[in-house]
Structure 1
Amino acid sequence: MAEVKLFGVWDSPFSKRVELALKLKGVKYEYIEEDLKNKSPLLLNYNPVHKKVPVLLHNGKPISESLIILEYIDDTWQQGPPILPKDPYLRSKARFWAKFVDDKCIPAMWKACWQKGEEGEKAMEEANDALEFLENEIKGKRFFGGDDSIGLVDIAADVIACRNGIIAELMGVQFLRKDKFPNLCKWADEYCNCSFVKENQPPNQKLIHHYKALIQASTSSKSTK
């Protein structure tokens, strides 16, 4: 029986965060794919409050919420590069920006992909405003934590860096434009071209097929209303 188990979904950017962190730290784990339309009794038992992935099970003890799991991994396993800085002030900054990605960037970007008309324009403005803060934060740095290695904020923003091209191709929504966000674009290129990151991304064609199915389902749903 594996000491560490991860309950996740292959296309979930939040599950992907935890996988990246475990592999960055060199932690061996068993991955358990969940079907969110038919959630397993184990998932419901280990995360009864939110009933969602990811859930990390370590020695039989469950930890949920991706950002909390990332901190737990960093605190528990000392091998490998640190995910959070040791300095208390820098740690607080990393927590702030990771939460900013979750609370401000991802929701607005997701909404901008699916909403049309005025609602879509408003969501795009919100996404651009949020990305502008990240643009200023990454200026002059290789990664959000500095030049040394990938850290908490980089992993939190993985979906922004690595799925921007697919979203632009399929949905016609381009978030990271070099003329508007040159620093973020440079960071995204640097981050996505790290061998560690490239090796641990879902296959592009599988993601494209998945997003096409989502778009088709959304279109069909709206046409029947």
Structure 2
Amino acid sequence: MAAPEEPREVKLYGAWGSAHAAMARNALELKGVRYEYAEEDLERKSEALLRLNPVHGGKVPVLVVDGRALSESLVILEYVDEAWSGRAGRLLPPRDRPRERAAARFWARFFHDEVSPLSHLVLFAAGGEERAGLVREMKDRMAVMEAGIQRDFPLGGGGGGEGPFLHGREPGLLDVVLGSCAAGTRVLSSVAGEEIVEAGALPRVHASLVAFDELAAAFGTSVPHESLLARLLERKERARGAPA
């Protein structure tokens, strides 16, 4: 049976500083996929972006493959892994390891739904006890994820394991998801006044962030966290000054 043809025309709509858009870019880079990148201004979204992703009001990322659009970062990551399955850089474990595949999907969704939303609340919370409480809650949820990763993916993390990544020697789905948030994690630590991802408390997650950050720098997709923090605070100030 002949292998299916790989997609030919690939275009990604993203935005500077968007961790979710960075996930899609990093997945394409890992697979060695040639693609056109379209930078969007999320405060002045293009008509093309609004047309391609009307369900989510023009959010990024949007991946257009041979004229057909896909949205949502986790959906895009799994699609990229399947569409270019014959290439190196497998994101999900092989199909003959269904338990690991399911676990990778579960923890990626857990981070997306349970941890990532807190990061925005921490950044834009009024401060004081409210912010401190949100930081504690975020750390608690990250600790739950760390324990689950250690149980479900015992190989990896450096320090005697098989590799620095959560999936072992090579980065996989969880490494792309977490590693693409490295700049945002550093921003949160600056705002909170304490480390969100400590090596002692979250050894597997910390090792993955450090290792993937080196890959992102080579891809040219990394974002200086100082610049990201400055832009987010500027946006916050503009929102405060806008009429109700």
TM-score (norm 2): 0.79
Partner of 2:199: 178
Q: Partner letter of residue 165 of structure 1?
A: R
More deviation, 63-72/28-37: 28-37
- Larger displacement relative to structure 2 (179-188 or 149-158): 179-188
Change in Cα spacing, 1:124 to 1:38, as seen in structure 2 (3 Å) is same
Q: Which amino acid aligns with 2:42?
A: L
Partner of 1:144: 166
- The CA distance in 2 between the partners of 1:113 and 1:206, in whole Å, is 15
**Structure 1 107/151 Cα, relative in aligned 2: closer, same or farther at 3 Å?**
same
Q: Percent identity?
A: 33
CA deviation profile, 1:23-57 (whole Å, cap 9, x unmatched): 11011111111122222121111111112111100
* Contact preservation (8 Å) 1:82, 1:151: yes
RMSD: 2.5
The total of aligned residue pairs comes to: 221
Question: 1:105 is matched with which residue?
Answer: 115
Aligned residue number for residue 21 of structure 1: 27
The aligned counterpart of 1:133 is 144
Distance of 1:73 and 1:79 partners within structure 2: 10
CA distance in 1, matches of 2:201, 2:134: 17
1:114 matched to 2:140:
no
* Alpha-carbon distance, 1:173 to partner: 4.5
With 68-77 and 188-197 compared, the bigger mean Cα shift is at: 188-197
Q: Per the alignment, do residues 10 and 95 of structure 1 end up closer, same or farther by CA in structure 2, a change over 3 Å counting?
A: same
SS across alignment from 1:193: helix
Segments of structure 1 that go 5 or more residues without pairing to the other structure are none
Cα gap change, 1:129 to 1:221, in 2 (>3 Å):
farther
- Whole-Å separation in 2 of the counterparts to 1:81 and 1:125: 35
Please give the alpha-carbon distance, in whole angstroms, between the structure 2 residues aligned to 1:44 and 1:13. 19
Of residues 62, 72, 77 in structure 1, which corresponds to 2:69? Answer: 62
Alpha-carbon distance between aligned partners in 1 of 2:234 and 2:204, rounded to the nearest angstrom: 33
Q: Aligned-pair distance for 1:158? A: 2.3
2:80 alignment partner in structure 1: 73
In structure 2, do the counterparts of structure 1 residues 152 and 217 end up closer, same or farther at CA, with 3 Å as the change threshold? same
Q: 3-state SS of the aligned residue for 1:148?
A: coil
- The answer to whether the 8 A contact 1:4-1:28 is kept is yes
Native 8 Å contact 1:170 1:212 kept in 2: no
Instruction: State how far apart, in whole Å, the 2-side matches of 1:79 and 1:164 are.
Output: 30
- Residues 149 and 134 of structure 1: CA distance in aligned 2, closer, same or farther (over 3 Å): same
Cα distance, 1:221 vs. partner? Answer: 4.3
Q: CA deviation at 1:62?
A: 0.4
Amino acid across the alignment from 2:16: W
| Distance verdict in 2 for CA 1:26–1:195, change over 3 Å | same
Q: Contact conserved, 2:15 with 2:40, CA < 8 A, in 1?
A: yes
Check conservation: 1:20, 1:197, Cα contact below 8 A. no
Match of 1:168 in 2: 189
Q: Structure 2 CA distance, aligned partners of 1:91 and 1:103?
A: 18
Structure 1, 52-61 or 114-123: larger mean CA deviation: 114-123
What are the ranges of 5 or more consecutive residues in structure 2 without an aligned counterpart?
Answer: 1-7, 158-164
Counterpart Cα distance in 2 of 1:170 and 1:105: 17
Match of 1:211 in 2: 232
Q: Does the CA-based 8 Å contact 2:121-2:134 persist in structure 1? A: yes
